[in-house]
Each structure stands twice: as C-alpha cells, then as structure tokens.
Amino acid sequence: MIYLGSALMVYNIWGFVHFAGKAKKQNGWQNANFILYVPIVLLTLFLAGYLAVGFFGRPDIIVSGILFGGSVFVCVMYILMERITKRIAQHEHLEAKLMAAEESNRAKTVFLSGVSHEMRTPLNVIIGLNTLALTNKSLPAETKQHIEKATHSAEQILGIVNNIIDLNSMETGEFITKADPFLLRDAVDQIGAIIESLCEEKGLAYTCEIAPDVCRGFVGDDMRLKQVLFNLLDNAVKYTDAPGNVRLRVSQHDADDGLKAVAFAVEDTGCGIDEIFLEHIFDAFSKEDYTATSTHGGSGLGLTVSKSIVERLGGTLTVQSKKGVGSTFTAVIPLMPNETQESAAQEDAVSLEGKRILLAEDIPENAEIVMDLLELEGAESEHAVNGQIAVDMFTAAEPGYYDAILMDLRMPVMDGITAAKTIRMANKADAATIPIIALTANALESDVKESLKAGMNAHLSKPADTDKLYATLRRCIADYKGADQA
C-alpha cells in the first residue's frame, strides 16, 4: 500500500508541475512564481518520506493506510482544483467575449450615428430644396415631375438609413415608442399621398378604405405607424406591375382594457410570394429573388423592421400570399381611442404667423432651407451659427421675444445639448418654459433621449417632414403660451 501511495504521489507531483506550467502562462504570476512551486516541493518531500518508510521501516496496516489516504486526499484536491480553475477560465473567457461584444456594439452604434448624420445632412439639403422648389406655382410640369422623382429617390435612401438605424436600436435595446394624440385619417392620408404618386408613376390604381366605425382619433405613436404603413405599401407598389391594384383597408374591433385593435390590411395584385419563402419573409436582408436580373430593388430590411415595430407596439404582422396572384400584409395594432382630440384642436388654433423662431444651425444651406420653410407659414426667424451664439442671443433678448428655438445638436464652439442646458439654467423669466426643439441629423434613440434629458421639448430628425415641423412648433408654442396664461 505504501508503494501504491508513492505511485499516486508521483502522479500528484506531475499534475502540480503541469498545473504550474499552465498558471505561469497567465498574467499576474511574474513576481510570484515561487508560490506555484511550493506544493511541488512539499509533495516531493512527502514522496521521499513514503519511500524511506517503505525501504527502511516496518509500517503496519494503519500507518500504510494513513499514508495511502494522504496520497488519495492530495489527488482529490488536485482534481477539484483543476476543475475549479477550468471553470474560472471559462467564466473569464465568457466575460471577455461579452466585453468584446459590448465594445463592438458601442463601436457599431458610434459608426451608425456618424454615417446617419453624414447621410442625413446632404439629404436634408436635397429634400429641403426640392420642397421649396415645388412651392413655385409657375414651375413647368415636366420640371415638377423631375423634382418629385428626385425627392422620392432621396426619400428612399432616407428610408434605408432609418431602417438600419431602427434595426440597430432594437438590437441594443434603445428603441422607444411614444404615446401622443393623433388623427388616424391624417396619418393615413399623409402616407396615401406619397403612395398614390408612386402608383401613378407605375400605372397602378391605389385605393384606401376606412371602415365607418373606426375611431377618428387615437393615442399612440403615429410616426411609427406611418413608418410601418409606408414600408408595407411601398413594398406592395414595388412588387406589383401595371395594370395592377394596391389597396389599404382599415378596420377595428374591441380589445382588452378599452383599447381598439386597429387592423391595417395592405393588399396588392403583384407577383406574390412562394410558399416556401413565406416563412423567411420577415428575416433581415431576405429577398426571394437575388439574381442579377431581378427587377425589384430594396435592402430587405423594410419588413423586418416593420414586424419588430408592430410587435413593440403590442400588435401582430401577418402575411397571406399566393404566387402569381398577390399578397396581403395585415398589421393589427392596439390603440387607445381619443375622440376629443383636444391637443389637435389646440395645435390648429395656433398660427405660426408672426411667431419669432431662433434657429441654431452651423450649416448655411440647412439654415436657409429651414428659414424659407418658416417664412412660408409667416414666421420670422433669426439665425445663430453655433450653440454659444444661440445662448447669447436668447439671454440678451427680452423675455417672450422668441416663441421657440430650433436647435441643431452637432455644432462648433458649443453643441446643442450644452446650449439647451445653458438656456434652461439662465436667469430669465422664460428660460424654463420656452420651447426648445432639436432639429438634427442625429437620429438614434439615444440621441432622442439625450435631447429630452437636456430639457428639450421635442426631437425632429433631419430631413424633417415639413408638416411635422409645423405641427411640432404649433403644439410646443401652444403649450408654452398656455403655461404663460396659467
């Protein structure tokens, strides 16, 4: 038994030598290598003692058992230590991978934010100048068509940028939704005007049917709703050839907690979807036809983003399709009815005529476009080329001189976030209440949160929809004037 214990001790010594070799490769042992050799020296002394007892002594069964048991104990401890260190190493490896993934996500978010900003800035100029050009009533019909097509192409690029940004926001958990009062017919008509123009270009017929019992107003995220409707309808137009039909049907039925389940069914008589591909239709970047002869463009993100938005709004998005016959995409979204529409009436009651707007914008072309758009509504505007000048102009003016501030975020000298915080802390009667609206190419959800946290009343992403710009100004000014009167 003594010799068996000695053999086991040799195995233990080999194990600790192997363990010390692996440990030395890890960081942090450069000045403490001797610690790794202490167990090896002790076990070697024990082995020498075992052999001395075996060769020169006459151990009885009890002593032999104790010595053998000591070897077994050391072996068990070595095995446990080996497993513990493996588990620790696995944990550290997983932590390292997690940290690398988080760093990769941060880098991706920074990259997307930069790309989004750089792409939105020229798109803002293109779409803005086109919008101003289309206000010219003496414009030749052919030139008007060219401008409208150029605007549509720019909006398609903007749509792809938005989808990529939204997809990233959903992956990082930054995606947020809002709950504001809106008129359903207005939201549907705004998207319908764009889709009707696209259908005319392709020789398609577009119809919209809203059931008589559908509520007039709701509380929800109308921006996200319009994004989903545009993606679905644009997809229908894209995959339908003339002569064909695209139709939007809106209906509703009662849901839980006083909500209404509003169904938006987008029908087309297009090419349809193969049954095998239907199960992948909502996958990111999925397209049924990837061949070089494909006649349909698109990034393959519209349906993925739409489904994710609908699900985050608490709804469902389903599809029915038959190859060669057509498709029907149905989004069912729970919405809270809001028949009073007090906020909408308040917005309509406020005119921008004669209102004075302070615009903080460092790019001259962008500033000129916004000021021209404000002028179309009869509003006056004053321009600050950076955040510091905007702060100086506001603090130097009499309280109530400005009715609202439009604030870019990325500016030299002082950025928009810092400028908004400085204005809110200014020693002026209207510093805490004047509407500050972010008007920026920074379109990530984190940018929206940062703007609101800085004390801004709203966040508009460039290129801003003209109607939304006006509506946001009216709403914020109405709240501002109402607070003053109170």
DSSP string, 287-315: -S--STT------S-HHHHHHHHHHHTT-
Instruction: Check the CA dihedral 272-277-281-286 and report its sign.
Output: negative
- Which residues does 369 contact at the CB level (< 8 Å), separation at least 6? 124, 125, 128, 129, 131, 132
Q: How far apart are CA 168 and CA 147, in angstroms?
A: 32
Angle, CA 195 vertex, CA 447 and CA 271 arms, to 5°: 110
Q: Which of 136-140, 152-156, 350-354, 400-404 shows the highest mean pLDDT?
A: 400-404
Q: How far apart are CA 216 and CA 182, in angstroms?
A: 9
Angle, CA 146 vertex, CA 125 and CA 271 arms, to 5°: 105
pLDDT at 291: 44
Q: How far apart are CA 261 and CA 243, in angstroms?
A: 33
- Which residues does 233 contact at the CB level (< 8 Å), separation at least 6? 191, 195, 246, 248, 266
> How does pLDDT run across 239-256, given as a tens digit for each residue?
999 889 999 999 999 888
**448 alpha-carbon distance from chain centroid:** 10
Mean pLDDT of 359-379: 92
| Banded pLDDT at 388 (limits 50, 70, 90) | very high
pLDDT at 292: 39
Instruction: Check the CA dihedral 364-369-373-376 and report its sign.
Output: positive
Q: How far apart are CA 271 and CA 296, in angstroms?
A: 11
pLDDT at 54 over 80: no
Q: Which residue has the tokens 């075996």?
A: 54
The residue count of the chain comes to 486
Question: Domains in the chain, please, with CATH?
Answer: 1-147 (no CATH), 180-335 (3.30.565.10), 352-485 (3.40.50.2300)
pLDDT at 233 over 90: yes
> How does pLDDT run across 281-304, given as a tens digit for each residue?
887 656 655 443 345 555 567 788
pLDDT at 298: 53
Percent of the chain with pLDDT over 90: 33
For residue 327, give the amino acid letter.
Answer: S
Q: How far apart are CA 431 and CA 395, in angstroms?
A: 9
CA-based nearest residue to 128, from 108, 145, 161, 151: 151
pLDDT at 88 over 80: no
pLDDT at 360: 96
Query: 3-class DSSP state for residue 200?
Result: helix
Say if CB 213 and CB 261 are below 8 A apart: no
Query: 3-class DSSP state for residue 235?
Result: helix
